[in-house]
Amino acid sequence: MRISDRLGRTFLIVAMAVSWAIVGCQKVNTPAVPPTTTSAPQAVLEPADEQAEPPEQAASAPAADTATGDEEITGVVEPPVGVAEPLALDLVAIAIELPSPAFRGTPVPLKEAHVEKPLGKPRPPFLAPKGTVNLALAKPVSASDPAPPSGEVDYVTDGDKEASDFGYLELRSGAEWVQVDLGQKATIYAVLLWHSHAEARVYRDVVVLVSDDIDFLDAQTVFNSDYDNTSGLGIGADLGYVETAEGKLIDCKGVEGRYVRLYSNGSHIDEKNHYTEVEVFGRPTG
Ligand SMILES: [Ca+2]
Ligand SMILES: [Ca+2]
């Protein structure tokens, strides 16, 4: 018994010594950790500080960009953060020349579904990087209708946007399109289009695509109001709109492409398709 007691006490003493030694090691090791852990976060924080700059830019940009949202800014700021800073600061309102209004007010057609409520006031300025211009002016236009009943395809990019019975291109009934060749690949920030704004029409199944392929085998959709996929180009989530002298401005968020194709499928008044003018605001892609 005594021998076992002694053995037990000896074991306890040894065990305590070992545990103290372990604790001691931990206490020694513990202070050794902070220098490495404190130096590591500093290394992480430095780039984090740099990354914290964009929110400041974004916080200042929306103040002047209440209408178009942050998306186009983030879409523009693709290059490294340091390079993006001057670009973000160079956002300016694109220069839009509107035609004369052909009627007063913007009556919403009855029984036409999925149409946005008119803003009731002038459209706010649209911001895009400095140097953004209408690349579609005087550029060649083609159409799905080989023999348009009225007008010429050139009318779509001739710069004349006035409401006139003779100023627009008319395409046959059904889902038809016009296509603008910008001549080179471009970064596109907005498409501005006028069908016929002589009266408050709502054109149906308006779909706008951008592509590098002249046949649009691979294209990006920038607008689609064909909510029930009548034209077979996919279900569109965008609302239809009432045609006015302001035209329809589509935020393209910096999509890249050389060709812009615009579909329509008549209006709530008749089956005809009209195009008075199409403008494509962008910059040639460097
Ligand atoms: Ca025109
Ligand atoms: Ca439809």
Per-residue pLDDT tens over the stretch 200-209: 999 999 999 9
Q: What is the pLDDT of residue 199?
A: 92
pLDDT, mean of residues 30-42? 35
CA of residue 163 to ligand 1 center, whole Å: 9
Architecture field, domain 94-284: Sandwich (2.60)
Query: How many whole angstroms separate alpha carbon 192 and alpha carbon 85?
Result: 27
Query: How many whole angstroms separate alpha carbon 221 and alpha carbon 236?
Result: 9
β 169-171/219-224 pair status: unpaired
**Does 187 score more than 90 pLDDT?**
yes
Q: Which ligand minimizes its atom distance to the CA of 233?
A: 2
pLDDT confidence bin for 88, thresholds 50/70/90: low
Q: Where are the beta strands (DSSP E) in the chain?
A: 91-93, 127-129, 133-134, 141-143, 169-171, 176-194, 207-211, 219-224, 248-264, 273-275, 277-284
186 is written with which tokens? 């471009």
Contact criterion met (CB below 8 Å) for 243 and 188: no
pLDDT, mean of residues 138-144? 98
CA of residue 229 to ligand 2 center, whole Å: 5
SS3 (DSSP) at 142: strand
% residues pLDDT > 70 (the chain): 67
**Does 62 score more than 90 pLDDT?**
no
pLDDT confidence bin for 118, thresholds 50/70/90: confident
Q: Which ligand minimizes its atom distance to the CA of 265?
A: 2
CA of residue 152 to ligand 1 center, whole Å: 9
CA of residue 87 to ligand 2 center, whole Å: 39
CA of residue 18 to ligand 1 center, whole Å: 92
Query: How many whole angstroms separate alpha carbon 25 and alpha carbon 135?
Result: 72
CA of residue 159 to ligand 1 center, whole Å: 5
Q: What is the pLDDT of residue 104?
A: 83
**Does 283 score more than 80 pLDDT?**
yes
pLDDT, mean of residues 79-101? 72
User: Structure pTM?
Assistant: 0.70
SS3 (DSSP) at 35: helix
Residue that wins the pLDDT comparison between 188 and 73: 188
Q: Which ligand minimizes its atom distance to the CA of 207?
A: 2
Q: What is the pLDDT of residue 83?
A: 41
- Amino acid code (one letter) for 149: P
CA of residue 188 to ligand 1 center, whole Å: 20
Q: What is the pLDDT of residue 190?
A: 98
Average pLDDT, the chain: 78
Query: How many whole angstroms separate alpha carbon 147 and alpha carbon 190?
Result: 29
CA of residue 44 to ligand 2 center, whole Å: 52
Q: What is the pLDDT of residue 164?
A: 87
